[in-house]
């Protein structure tokens, strides 16, 4: 059992900088949890407090049931891997791997056995007599990972360990980390600012902003049922579209007035929005839930918007279209790649209203119809 429990943890740096604000989070035994959020939101600070490298201003941290607030880092049985490997430059890869174990008094043949095992697991067995400067970035990162693994700690703490690697290597290492986790089943907290990395690696994803966890749930859950507008906009690329407008009722149906057109909200919103008629709210729709036509295919249909094409980004089989409507400056649609689209072209957009979210106004506006959105997502 190596559960990590953070209970109302706060970190205030000198100068009254509140880096982490009343954070409560339990990382389950053997779980791979990703902490994700924009730069400066408090991810590294959180990790460093778990590692014991940073004092805690308020709150309690427990590892494996033991309060560790005042336990020095070396006695916490955690191993940290950072972005800048931090290998000893004058030592070979082997000695880098062995060093921490020697300090802990592990017998020599046991050290050798563990290093052999981990080196073959990580594909670095042939590199053990090289010094870091004779290794590529990816190889160095493997050694740094190996150094954490040979210690067999209760908890791994990763702080953006892949961000120095190029895109291809990063994707490869990501897949390897997943396999490693399946094999080792060690409780892991992984920090990244990259939402894609968070989604692909995390069993659960904790989305942070301004020192506060906005939502912690499985990757699909945060994608399909974002708790608020910040999470909705942060998870997923391109970002969700947000349209400000008002809700009104006509002939017993709920509509969202986008400014240039009325969009009909599914009946599932009735309970949540019934008493919000006339209020300014925000409609959220992902780029992939908008279809386009340049030939009038949606003529006369509900839930369409007239738009003008401003930028085309070809991605291969799909393309991102940046468009504007009379009421909104920027919307992004992700559609199948096609020929014949030119800037300035008039398009009709069709919005899949079964996929929309409605948020309260503001950067962290709550997702209002969440309970009914869930019924829709699980029924789909």
* Count of residues near ligand ATP by CB under 6 A: 12
| Nearest distance in Å: CB 214, ligand ATP | 13
Q: How far apart are CA 234 and CA 23, in angstroms?
A: 19
Residue of 17, 67, 134, 311 interacting with ligand ATP (CB under 6 A): 17
Binding string, residues 185-204; x marks residues near ligand ATP by CB under 6 A: --------x-----------
Q: Does 209 bind ligand ATP (CB under 6 A)?
A: no
* Count of residues near Mg ion by CB under 5 A: 1
DSSP 30: T
Residue of 40, 59, 259, 374 interacting with ligand ATP (CB under 6 A): 40
Alpha helices in 63-150, H assignment, sequence order: 93-103, 108-122, 137-150
| Nearest distance in Å: CB 43, Mg ion | 5
* The 241-250 sheet, strands edge to edge: 262-264, 253-257, 241-250, 280-285, 357-359
Q: Does 41 bind ligand ATP (CB under 6 A)?
A: yes
Q: Does 161 bind ligand ATP (CB under 6 A)?
A: no
| b/e burial code for range 195-221 (CB count within 10 A of at least 16 → b) | bebbbebbbbbbbbbbbbbbbbbebeb
Residues 6+ apart with CB under 8 A from 379: none
For the chain, the distance separating the N- and C-terminal CA atoms, rounded to the nearest angstrom, is 37
Q: Does 55 bind ligand ATP (CB under 6 A)?
A: no
Q: Where does this chain touch ligand ATP (CB under 6 A) — which range of 41-49, 112-120, 139-147, 325-333?
A: 41-49
| Nearest distance in Å: CB 69, ligand ATP | 18
Q: Where does this chain touch Mg ion (CB under 5 A) — which range of 1-9, 21-29, 44-52, 195-203?
A: 44-52
H or E element, residue 44: helix 43-51
| Nearest distance in Å: CB 42, Mg ion | 9
**Of the two residues 101 and 198, which places its CB atom closer to Mg ion in the complex?**
198
**Of the two residues 47 and 118, which places its CB atom closer to Mg ion in the complex?**
47
Where does the chain show beta strands of DSSP type E?
4-13, 17-27, 32-36, 58-63, 66-67, 78-82, 155-159, 187-192, 204-209, 212-217, 241-250, 253-257, 262-264, 280-285, 290-293, 304-314, 318-324, 331-336, 346-351, 357-359
Q: How far apart are CA 226 and CA 369, in angstroms?
A: 11
| Nearest distance in Å: CB 37, ligand ATP | 6
Q: Does 44 bind Mg ion (CB under 5 A)?
A: yes
Is beta strand 262-264 parallel, antiparallel or unpaired with respect to 331-336? unpaired
| Nearest distance in Å: CB 81, ligand ATP | 14
**Of the two residues 151 and 170, which places its CB atom closer to ligand ATP in the complex?**
170
**Of the two residues 194 and 221, which places its CB atom closer to Mg ion in the complex?**
194
Select from Mg ion, ligand ATP, none the partner in contact with residue 73, using the beta carbon and a kind-dependent cut-off of 5 to 8 Å.
none
Q: Does 42 bind ligand ATP (CB under 6 A)?
A: yes
**Of the two residues 37 and 138, which places its CB atom closer to ligand ATP in the complex?**
37
The residues of the shown chain that bind ligand ATP, judged by CB under 6 A, are 13, 17, 19, 37, 39-45, 193
């Amino acid at each position: 059992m190596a559960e990590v429990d953070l209970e109302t943890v706060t970190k205030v740096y000198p100068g009254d900088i509140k880096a982490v604000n009343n954070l409560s989070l339990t990382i389950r035994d053997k779980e791979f949890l990703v902490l994700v959020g924009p730069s400066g939101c408090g991810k590294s600070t959180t990790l460093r407090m778990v590692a014991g490298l940073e004092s805690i201003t308020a709150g309690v941290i427990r590892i494996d049931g033991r309060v560790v607030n005042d336990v020095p880092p070396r006695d916490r049985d955690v191993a940290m891997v950072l972005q800048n490997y931090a290998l000893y430059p004058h030592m070979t890869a082997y000695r880098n791997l062995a060093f921490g174990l020697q300090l802990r008094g592990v017998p020599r043949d046991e050290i050798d056995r563990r290093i052999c095992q981990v080196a073959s697991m990580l594909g670095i067995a042939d590199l053990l007599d090289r010094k870091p400067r004779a290794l590529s970035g990816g190889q160095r990162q493997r050694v740094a990972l190996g150094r954490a693994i040979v210690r067999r700690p209760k908890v791994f703490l990763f702080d953006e360990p892949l961000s120095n690697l190029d895109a291809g290597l990063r994707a490869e290492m990501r897949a390897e980390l997943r396999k490693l986790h399946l094999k080792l089943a060690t409780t892991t907290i992984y920090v990244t600012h990259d939402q894609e990395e968070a989604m692909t690696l995390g069993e659960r994803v904790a989305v942070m902003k301004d020192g506060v966890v906005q939502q912690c749930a499985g990757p699909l859950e945060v994608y399909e049922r974002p708790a608020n507008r910040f999470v909705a906009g942060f998870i997923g690329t391109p970002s969700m579209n947000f349209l400000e407008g008002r809700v009104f009722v006509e002939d017993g149906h709920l509509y969202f007035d986008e400014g240039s057109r009325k969009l009909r909200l599914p009946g599932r919103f009735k309970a949540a929005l019934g008493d919000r008629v006339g209020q300014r709210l925000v409609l959220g729709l992902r780029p992939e839930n908008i279809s386009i036509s340049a030939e009038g295919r949606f003529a006369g249909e509900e839930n369409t918007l007239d738009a003008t094409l401003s930028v085309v980004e070809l991605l291969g089989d799909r393309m991102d279209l940046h468009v504007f409507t009379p009421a909104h400056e920027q919307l992004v649609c992700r559609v199948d790649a096609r020929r014949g689209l030119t800037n300035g072209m008039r398009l009709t957009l069709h919005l899949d209203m079964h996929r929309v979210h409605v948020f309260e106004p503001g950067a962290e506006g709550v997702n209002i119809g969440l309970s009914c959105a869930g019924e829709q997502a699980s029924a789909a």
